[in-house]
């Protein structure tokens, strides 16, 4: 039986922990590190630094809040790149700035290490069940090398293009989701002000052209139920919309809707608690100050 490669996994947050757990259960030799002290994971060796986690690893996976955290884990003090052997592959499954991803790829290439960006979509349930959608950027040959590992984590794996393409399409995907969430929640606020029944409105939206992910999965489940617990943070949504807006700006593309979407999400981020779920932007839109 072919021995599976040793994998380093850095970042055991809401998404990273169930993803790493799946790799351990699949038989990978797993070495984990988490800066916030959440590193203990059954079936894995806990490491005190990214450098320790990377020692002897053939593949290193990062699942961190942003590109800055990824860079620090790889190239900072006791960074993983100091221990990775030539020929190793770094798979960045975080949501990062695609322009910075290409810069990071060039720096790692100088050390003989290849970078593949492979952000995901599918929420915590998808991470737990291995049903994530994975959007990869990099060389087809590199994706082929790590595909068996990625197939433990996701059902749909796309090669979106060269390095940075995965991060670009992830940010654009989340921008679409963020804009759709604003549209659905604003419609709910306006309809309620007019005296419409919100549950009935939602049923009509879901059987009409206005149907989207928010009308199907967020209004009844989180807003009307008062749960506001989708598992995806408002701050992360604001960050991803910011990446999409920044990408448009870097490319010289005039995209007024993404700019306005970024403004609204950033305003909600400032107004709501730091740990707010992204569905809580409804509270911001429904408040008197959100009706301008």
Residue identified by tokens 């599976």 is 4
Helix (H, G, I), strand (E, B) or coil at 194: helix
Active-site residue, from 35, 156, 170, 218: 170
Answer whether 281's CB lies under 8 Å from 268's CB.
yes
- Give, as one character, the DSSP assignment of residue 277: B
Closest by CA position to 6, among listed 35, 21, 15, 23: 23
Residue identified by tokens 């569905």 is 279
What's the distance, CA 230 to chain centroid? 14
Answer whether 137's CB lies under 8 Å from 163's CB.
yes
Is-catalytic flag, 170? yes
Answer whether 198's CB lies under 8 Å from 192's CB.
yes
* 262-267 own/partner pairs: CB under 8 Å, 24+ apart: 262/238, 264/182, 265/178, 265/182, 265/234, 265/237, 265/238, 265/241, 266/238, 266/242
What's the distance, CA 191 to chain centroid? 32
Angle at 224 between CA 218 and CA 229, to 5 degrees: 50
Give 13's contacts (C-beta < 8 A, 6+ positions apart): 34, 36, 38, 63, 64, 65
**Dihedral, CA atoms, 205, 206, 212, 216, nearest 10 degrees?**
120
- Cα–Cα distance for residue pair 81/133, rounded to 1 Å: 27
Active site residues: 170
């Amino acid at each position: 039986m072919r021995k599976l490669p040793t994998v380093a996994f850095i970042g055991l947050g809401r998404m990273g922990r169930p993803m790493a757990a799946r790799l351990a259960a699949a038989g990978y030799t797993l070495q984990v590190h988490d800066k916030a002290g959440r590193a203990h994971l059954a079936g894995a060796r806990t490491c005190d630094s990214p450098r320790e986690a990377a020692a002897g690893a053939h593949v290193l996976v990062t699942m961190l809040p942003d590109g800055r955290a990824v860079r620090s884990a790889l190239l900072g003090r006791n960074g993983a790149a100091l221990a990775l052997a030539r020929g190793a592959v770094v798979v960045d499954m975080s949501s990062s700035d695609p322009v910075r991803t290409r810069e990071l790829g060039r720096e790692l290439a100088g050390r003989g290490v290849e970078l593949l960006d492979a952000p995901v979509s599918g929420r915590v349930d998808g991470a737990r069940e291995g049903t994530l959608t994975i959007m990869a950027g990099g060389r087809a040959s590199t994706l082929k090398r790590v595909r068996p590992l990625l197939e433990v984590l996701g059902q749909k794996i796309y090669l979106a293009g060269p390095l940075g393409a995965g991060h670009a399409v992830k940010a654009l995907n989340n921008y679409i989701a963020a804009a759709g969430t604003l549209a659905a929640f604003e419609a709910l606020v306006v309809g309620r002000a007019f005296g419409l029944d919100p549950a009935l409105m939602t049923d009509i939206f879901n059987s009409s052209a206005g149907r989207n992910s928010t009308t199907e999965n967020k209004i009844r489940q989180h807003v009307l139920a008062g749960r506001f617990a989708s598992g995806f943070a408002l701050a992360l949504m604001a960050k991803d919309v910011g990446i999409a807006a920044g990408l448009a700006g870097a490319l010289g593309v005039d995209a007024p809707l993404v700019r306005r979407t970024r403004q609204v999400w950033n305003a909600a981020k400032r107004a709501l608690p730091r740990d707010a779920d992204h569905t809580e932007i409804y509270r911001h839109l429904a408040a008197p100050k959100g009706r301008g």
